[in-house]
Amino acid sequence: MSALIESLQAKRVVPLVQSDDPKTALKISEALLEGGLDVLEVVLRTDAALDCLEAIAKEFPHAHVGAGTVISADQSREVIRRGATFIVSPGLDPASVKVAQDAGLPILPGISTATELTQAWNLGLRTVKLFPASLVGGPKMLKALSSVFRDVQFMPTGGVSAANLNEYLAVPAVLACGGSWLTPKAAIDAGDFAAITKLAKDAIAIANS
């Protein structure tokens, strides 16, 4: 079992880190780590995202620092170069999967149908992201897919929050949930990193309940 899967199993929550500035990204990450979460997904959604990823990976070598919103093979190569230890994608891109597999890095592509999951399974993947989870059927969809794909584990993302986290985690095939609810923009803009630590602690409490 990979160290990443072990951490996902232990913490069961993957916060998104998004920032325009590596210094702020480091503060967000520190707050999440302080709250007990050690699997962080730095999303490629700002011009500074790659610099944020690199800074976090360097500063916190004991955390699992992955890159999210990766949609091409070129981006996959670049995030690996910048220090990502896993890759998450909103959809399934076989070329990105190959880059990650060749580098020996875990990749969790997004799937939202049985057909996409079949394609992911045939690429050798047994851990995928369900995206956007709440819009494609939520926990019911996960139960339906996992009754067929018995050896697949899921990371639902998209519409997961503290209010429904326990419903997702109650599905046996759910390894962990991802989401942006742990890193709200309002708290970041206000410099309220203690709020992020609290959200991380609250999520762990829900996961353990």
Active site amino acids: 41, 129
What are the φ and ψ backbone dihedral angles of 203, each rounded to 5 degrees?
A: -65, -40
Min dist CB 178 to ligand 3PG, Å, is: 5
CA distance 126 to 84: 20
Residues numbered 67 to 86 that lie near ligand 3PG (CB under 6 A) are 68-69
- Select 55 or 70, whichever has its Cβ closest to ligand 3PG: 70
Min dist CB 157 to ligand 3PG, Å, is: 4
- Note whether 164 binds ligand 3PG by CB under 6 A: no
Min dist CB 88 to ligand 3PG, Å, is: 7
For residue 8, give both structure tokens: 């996902």
- Note whether 89 binds ligand 3PG by CB under 6 A: no
For residue 78, give both structure tokens: 């670049």
Q: Do residues 70 and 98 lie in contact, with contact meaning Cβ atoms separated by under 8 Å?
A: no
CA distance 91 to 82: 22
Min dist CB 100 to ligand 3PG, Å, is: 17
- Note whether 22 binds ligand 3PG by CB under 6 A: no
- Note whether 159 binds ligand 3PG by CB under 6 A: yes
For residue 120, give both structure tokens: 């992911």
Cβ neighbours of 180 (radius 10 Å): 17
- Note whether 157 binds ligand 3PG by CB under 6 A: yes
CA distance 87 to 80: 8
- Select 72 or 180, whichever has its Cβ closest to ligand 3PG: 180
- Select 29 or 69, whichever has its Cβ closest to ligand 3PG: 69
- Note whether 180 binds ligand 3PG by CB under 6 A: yes
- Note whether 179 binds ligand 3PG by CB under 6 A: yes
- Select 69 or 197, whichever has its Cβ closest to ligand 3PG: 69
How distant, in Å, are the alpha carbons of 5, 99, 158 from that of 205? Answer: 20, 36, 21
- Select 61 or 106, whichever has its Cβ closest to ligand 3PG: 106
Q: Do residues 128 and 97 lie in contact, with contact meaning Cβ atoms separated by under 8 Å?
A: no
- Residues near 71 by Cβ (< 8 Å), separated by ≥ 6? 89, 90, 91, 93, 96
Residues near ligand 3PG (CB under 6 A): 16, 43, 68-69, 131, 157-160, 178-181
